[in-house]
Structure 1
């Protein structure tokens, strides 16, 4: 059976890997059409490249070496003929399919800002998005001559990018039209604590105000005019204003699209031969824009098409909404029910501890004896325990205040978070301590070995330090020595 996949990003490549691993009967011959000319890479860690903590080469994701797989890199799909079941590419080739998977992802949203020609493929010098590996390369190069930077948008990417630019030596101003930073994850109290901490990291937050125009002279950015008329001088503007699903090829073929390609709970479109996963898809319960959700869709679709059910990893589904901000000096972790726009549910019991002077804010939301949401700013150890309780569905203590102040919990707490071998270390991929220990026993000695063996650290990267610490303990126990903590590939940052 001929299967064509349009898109070779994080979700498309993971789907192909999952499908071929399950297709033991040799049912499928797979052709992947990828517009980018490089190997698939971890888009989530692009802000880490800006910060100088990752080399671009270290972001590369594995591609299966399989006799029934053909990957066409640097090739753009230009049309879908659903009646004849043909995908046409920009080189004029026609690829017949029996089933088609759309994993076309999303593009950076360019806001309708005066001074930016949103109808052009080229932005003024000094203005950048951060969505592709080429974007990251250009942003890093721009920091060599930029002393002042503005980040437009204070979602997760905006905060991470601002931190990266600050670490590159830029004085950074974050401009956000909403009253709360990261409003999807933080309410007003949590946002105020984060805003108070940001100047220590070299970032000035400006909430409740938007950008009115990019000031451009001789084709180069010189500043940003805010909605109140104030001008912030800047040589670099980074746009972190969300994404737009890449649905044009689906829409042109007649598939129903709204914010994304409309799919059911099984990632199927109205055409029984066509499926959509990842950022381009719009499932009934909405898209979260998190890679864990896309990977879960990839796994479920691979199982559906092959009829082979693999082991469902702990934490890899049902709790794929954990957000951990990757920003030096800004410790923010959220999960489940959180943010200023959450529903007012009478069954939810919320408790919070806010200490702005210490840069700390913790809130937990409990229902039916389980943790259903939490917000943690500046509370690393508490956040780690809450993530474990949330992803595992652990019974919480009878007094939920112990979740905020774990030191007060009695020695024999009911609902204590277990730390056994089945504890999930990598939540994006559902990798447990036992699996990492088995990989170590099989010869994995550093983070890269563990990533190849288990996929741990290949998602948001938030578990990298935990994996290093675990390898160090395993090495000390077995006498094999400490792991290599160099998390980048040798070479220059770009």
Structure 2
């Protein structure tokens, strides 16, 4: 059966890897059409490249070498002929399919500001988005001659990018028109604590103020005019105002599209031969956004196509845990959080906020379960809450006990390797448990790199790297003879 995948990004590539691993009967001949000429890479860590903590070469993801797989890199799909079941590429080639998976991802949203032409390739010099490996390369090069930067948008990517630019020596102004930083995850109190910590790491936050225009002279950015009339001088603008799903090829083919390509819980479009996954898709639960959700969608579709049954989701593995990768800014959220959350009478919340020390922790409990938390500057307590949340561990009747590790570092933490249950999720992006890592260690994986190759742990957002290191060290101490061997 001929299966075509349009898109060779993080989700499309993972789907192909999962499908071929499950297709033991040799049912599928797979062709991947990828617009970028390079191997698939980890977009989640692009902000880490800007910060200088990763090299571009270290972002490359595993790519299967399989006799039933053909990958067309540097090739764009231009149209889908649903009647003839053909994908046409930009060079006029026609590729026939029996089933088609669209994984075209999303593009950076460029806001309609005076002075900015959102047409691709028409942005003034000094204006950048951060969506591709080429974007990261250009931003790093731009920092060599830039000393003043503005980041527009203070979602997760915006804060990470601002931190990265500050690490590169830029004086950074972070402009965010909403009333709170990371408003999807933080309420006003949490945002204030985070904002107060930013000047210490070289970032000046401007919350509740938007950008009105880009000030451009001779084709180059010189500043940003804010909605309050102030002009912030800048020679680098990084736009982090969200994404727009790449739906054009699906829309032109007559498939239903809203914010994304409309699909059901099985990732099927109205055309039963065509599926959509990742950031381009709009499942009943809403847009995707987090890579763990896209990878779960890829896994479920691979299972469906190879076994004709739809597996359950990885409930409780923590795919909605958000960790901000920013030097000096410790932010972790999960589940129920943010200022826009509904007022549920069955939920209880408890907040510990100490702005003077840059610490803010809120836990939300329903029954005997932790259903959400917000952690700023919380260190170990954030790790313990993530463990409690992802493992669905029953919590004490008094939620205050959940905060005790923040108040008393001497308390044994839930993330200590001895305390972790074998089925505890360590890498939530890839649903890797303590037992998976222990098994890999038994089979000879002794380093983070070897464990990553065997289990995929640490290859998502990278937020579990410290936990994986601690677990490997613990395993090595338990079996020193195996390490020496």
Residue matched to 2:35:
35
Offset at 1:287? 1.5
CA displacement, residues 69-97 of structure 1 (integer Å, 9 cap, x when unaligned):
11110000000001110000012110000
Q: CA deviation at 1:407?
A: 6.8
Instruction: Give me the whole-angstrom Cα distance separating, in 2, the residues matched to 1:237 and 1:288.
Output: 26
Distance apart, 1:472 and its partner CA: 2.4
User: 1:242–1:481: structure 2 CA closer, same or farther, 3 Å change rule?
Assistant: farther
Give the conservation status (yes or no) of the 8 Å contact 1:364–1:371. Answer: yes
Equivalent residues of 1:424, 1:430 under 8 A apart: yes
* Alpha-carbon distance between aligned partners in 1 of 2:158 and 2:244, rounded to the nearest angstrom: 16
Q: CA deviation at 1:467?
A: 1.6
When normalised by structure 2's length, the TM-score is 0.95
Residue of structure 2 in register with 1:385 after alignment:
384
Partner of 1:457: 458
Seen in structure 2, the aligned counterparts of structure 1 residues 311 and 282 have a Cα distance that, compared at 3 Å, is closer
Give RMSD over aligned pairs.
2.2
The whole-number CA distance in structure 2 between the counterparts of 1:75 and 1:433 is 40
* C-alpha separation in 2, matches of 1:317 and 1:255: 32
**Contact 1:397 1:416 (C-alpha < 8 Å) held by counterparts:** no
Residue 429 of structure 2 corresponds to residue 423 of structure 1: no
Whether 2:166 is the aligned partner of 1:166: answer yes
The verdict on how the C-alpha distance between 1:407 and 1:248 changes in structure 2, with shifts beyond 3 A counting, is closer
Q: 1:64 is matched with which residue?
A: 64
Change (3 A) 1:481 1:187: farther
Instruction: Output the CA distance in 1 between the equivalents of 2:421 and 2:354.
Output: 32
Please report how far the alpha carbon of residue 317 of structure 1 lies from its aligned counterpart in structure 2 after TM superposition: 6.0
**Partner Cα separation in structure 1 for residue 133 and residue 120 of structure 2:** 20
| Rounded Cα–Cα distance in structure 1 between residues aligned with 2:111 and 2:483 | 48
SS in 2 for 1:425: strand
TM-score, length of structure 1 as denominator length: 0.93
Cα drift, residue 430 of structure 1: 1.2
- For residues 29-428 of structure 1, the aligned pairs below 5 Å read 29-307=29-307, 319-406=318-405, 418-428=419-429
- Contact kept, 8 Å, 1:402 with 1:408, in 2: the verdict is no
> Tell me, what secondary structure is at the counterpart of 2:213?
strand
- For residues 25-72 of structure 1, give each alpha carbon's deviation from its aligned partner in whole angstroms, at most 9, with x where no partner exists: 111111000000000000000000000100111100111111111111
Whole-angstrom distance in 2 between the partners of 1:445 and 1:254: 51
Structure 1 SS opposite 2:440: helix
Determine helix, strand or coil for the equivalent of 1:326: strand
Give the conservation status (yes or no) of the 8 Å contact 1:39–1:60. Answer: yes
Shift of 1:425: 1.2
Structure 2 residue aligned with 1:477:
478
Structure 2 CA distance, aligned partners of 1:430 and 1:154? 28
Contact 2:300 2:311 in 1 (8 A): no
Task: Please list every run of 5 or more consecutive structure 2 residues that lacks an aligned counterpart in the other structure.
Answer: none
Quote the Cα distance in structure 1 between the aligned partners of 2:103 and 2:415: 40
* Separation in 2, partners of 1:309, 1:393: 26
Deviates most, 460-469 or 235-244 = 460-469
- Aligned mates of 1:260, 1:467 — CA distance in 2: 35
For 1:231 and 1:42, locate their aligned partners in 2 and report how far apart those are by CA, in whole Å. 35
Distance 1:248 1:384, change over 3 A: same
Matches of 1:215 and 1:8, distance apart in 2? 37
- Once residues 301 and 94 of structure 1 are traced to their aligned partners in structure 2, the CA distance between those partners, rounded to angstroms, is 25
Deviation at 1:471, TM superposition (A): 2.0
CA distance in 2, matches of 1:341, 1:201: 28
Quote the residue 1:448 is aligned against: 449
Q: In structure 2, how many angstroms separate the alpha carbons of the residues matched to 1:14 and 1:317? A: 21
Q: 1:312 to 1:425 in 2, by over 3 A?
A: farther
C-alpha deviation, 1:422, in angstroms: 2.4
User: Secondary structure of 1:405's match?
Assistant: helix
Residues 396 and 416 in structure 1, CA contact (< 8 A), matched pair in contact too: no
3-state DSSP of counterpart to 1:295: helix
Equivalent residues, number = 480
**Deviation of residue 444 (structure 1)?**
1.9
**CA deviation vs aligned residue, 1:177-233 (integer Å, no higher than 9, x gap):** 011000000000000000011111111100000001111111111111101110101
Deviates more, 1:392-401 or 1:202-211: 392-401
Larger RCO, structures 1/2 (Cα 8 Å, 6+ apart): 1
* Corresponding position of 1:492: none
Q: Residues 201, 38 of structure 1: CA spacing in aligned structure 2 closer, same or farther, 3 A cutoff?
A: same
CA contact (8 A) 1:107 1:243 kept: yes
Give how far 1:394 is off: 1.1
Question: Does 419-428 or 247-256 show the bigger shift?
Answer: 419-428
Cα 1:309–1:480, aligned 2, differ >3 Å: closer, same or farther?
farther
The 8 Å contact of residues 422 and 433 in structure 1, kept in 2 or not, is answered as yes
